[in-house]
Amino acid sequence: MGEGQDEEDKKEEEARHEKQLQSIQLSLYSMPGLTSKQSIRLWGKIDENRVIVLVDCGASHNFISAVAVKQQQIPVTPTKPYTVEVGDGQKIRCEGVWNNVKLQIQGMKIQQDLFVFEMMGVDVVLGMEWLASLGEIRANFRELTLKITATEGSFTLKGEPARARSAASLRSIVKILRNEGEGFLLYFQDIQDVKEANLMPTWMEGILEEYNEVFQNPGGLPPSRRQDHRH
């Protein structure tokens, strides 16, 4: 009876995860650990370990950083590979889930499944999967507060402005550089199927073509001369 029940529970768990893995999304800000107009950053606790938590309305599920998993030797349950779609349309292949994680934030006890994902600057992301499981929610992202009415009571989670990290605009970056010092502005862009640009003037192409044999790469030692020049 016990073994049969365990097998049934295992199948139900697998079916639940199969359904969860069909559509997993993470906001573009969550991956580098940035805050946005729809997220709140605060401290939490898993067992005795402090973790940085990002409550993000742009995330469909809950996530834990792969770095935290490795550092804390977390017992991750293997899953079929799943794809996480980031806010810019990029799709990243991942696998593994930490089941029934007990997380505590400012006196509120939370138990959720956390999917493993490569993130920076944040340990845990709580997304719509957790938010939808709650009762009444009142979020004030300007004041960084989240008021929750749950079966176990009412809670007001307060974000920490000092830990907020947002993407800076180009205008604010230029202002900082003018007032406070020097820096570098780097811009990266993927370029595909672009032929090498020809920057050579037309008149030079004619010379190279006319005297082609002169401009060939050396194929061996120079010819012997009656007198060698020495320094």
Q: Is residue 208 a part of any domain in this protein?
A: no
The enclosing domain of 18 has a CATH number of 2.40.70.10
Q: Is residue 36 a part of any domain in this protein?
A: yes
The pLDDT of residue 44 is above 90: yes
Q: For residue 205, what pLDDT is reported?
A: 74
Determine if residue 47 is left, alpha or beta; phi over 0 gives left, psi from -120 to 50 gives alpha, anything else beta. Answer: left
Nearest to 84 by CA among 58, 117, 107: 117
Residue 83 backbone dihedrals phi, psi, to 5 degrees: -110, 125
Q: Is residue 170 a part of any domain in this protein?
A: no
Q: Is residue 169 a part of any domain in this protein?
A: no
Q: Is residue 68 a part of any domain in this protein?
A: yes
Strand 124-126, strand 63-65: pairing: antiparallel
As beta bridge partners, residue 64 has 116, 124
Q: Is residue 101 a part of any domain in this protein?
A: yes
Q: For residue 34, what pLDDT is reported?
A: 66
The pLDDT of residue 70 is above 80: yes
pTM of the model: 0.61
In the three-class reduction of DSSP (H, G, I as helix; E, B as strand; rest coil), residue 163 is classed as helix
Q: For residue 51, what pLDDT is reported?
A: 93
Q: Is residue 34 a part of any domain in this protein?
A: yes
Q: Is residue 193 a part of any domain in this protein?
A: no
Domain extent, residue 87, equals: 8-160
| Number of Cβ within a 10 Å radius of residue 51 | 19
User: 45 with 76: CB under 8 angstroms?
Assistant: no
Q: Identify how many contiguous H helices and E strands the chain contains and give both numbers.
A: 5, 12
Please provide the distance, in angstroms rounded to a whole number, between the alpha carbons at the two ends of the chain. Answer: 96
Q: What is the count of structural domains for the chain?
A: 1
The pLDDT of residue 26 is above 70: yes
pLDDT digits (tens, 9 = 90+) for 79-89: 888 888 887 77
Whole-angstrom distance, CA of residue 55 vs CA of residue 47: 19
Residue 94: alpha-carbon gap to chain centroid: 12
Asked whether the CA dihedral 100, 102, 103, 106 is positive or negative, the reply is positive
